[in-house]
Structure 1
Amino acid sequence: MIGAPIPEGVLKVIAEVARRRGLLTEALLSPDQGVAATAARGEVYARLLRQHTARAIAAWMGRSKWTITKGAKAYRDRMGLAAPKAVRSFPARPVLVLSLWRGWVKAHAGRRRMDDICAEVAGLYGYTVDQIKGPDRDQEICVARHHCMWAMGREPHLSLPRIGKFLNRDHTTVLHGQRRHAERMAREWPEGLAA
């Protein structure tokens, strides 16, 4: 009934749970629907889901992904345990990038929220997020606002209308601000260091 070859580390977890519960390892790998085997399988699923995907576990155990997640959830509920974080969610690593006026600053790889981007840029220029989003049209704050629009535009999941809605501007204003900031960077960094 086993679909894919089971890695050695997974077999160790299965054997450990079976030994502690007084069962044979084969009982956990068989299609047996006994109460003791089902409860032990739930513990195995919950432990394996900390390090592996439900799809991989389903292939190893010869069961469906739904059965794996349902069994793990039932075990966690019985034991009062919290659900594990997703296997593939890695924290974004900070990367050093060259800012136009502030030198080297930390930027985060991965998805960034508009609030975070706006707060970071506003902090670089000494403004608040409300000032960046506000109606003020002084040159200094416009430079900061254009930088904010440009930084948000570099995020692939943020569209012009979405950025405009966040900053209380039209999407064409956002496009203009992004272009102005790019021109300013090209003038002040002709070698292309900040691009």
Structure 2
Amino acid sequence: MARPRSSTPETKKLLKSARNRRHYEKKKRLGAIRKRLTARGIARYREQVPGPLILSRNLSILNQDHLRALNGRLQAWGFVDDHATFVSDAEESVLPLLGKKDLLRKWVRAQEDWLEEGKSLLDGMRQVVGGTVLSELNPHEVGELFHSIMSTSYTVQYMMVGVEFALDKLGDV
């Protein structure tokens, strides 16, 4: 059975408009599906790698291991991305020790060791930026990694300043 031919210009125009609309809607649906799949894939990949520093599949095994180790050290150090939570937890940890000099001295020593580890973590992030990691990535991945390093280093410094401020408020213990 043959399709009837449209002979009038108005009919041709309506058919073309309907075809264009179907094509546009199909393209829009496919774009939305791709976007959801990409977002789900990125989220799933980030779930596999705990820690604030983003890893790329394009990195060599050595550099991936270095970033994983740095993420592990950050987690063990107590990295918290929520500033308000960190400040309140830090204040609550010292309150029970205020009348007990020996326990307070131990707490101060532990905080000083914690600060040294923070400095070491910042140095590790600096080494990532100065090392071979960035040369293995495309420009978009470099931007993502650099953003995660800058954001993480800012948070680490914020946490360290908070503890140093608390130590200064205690004075000589």
Q: TM-score scaled by structure 2?
A: 0.31
Q: Tell me which protein shows more helix as a share of its residues.
A: 2
Question: Highest Rg: 1 or 2?
Answer: 2
Higher-strand-fraction structure: 1
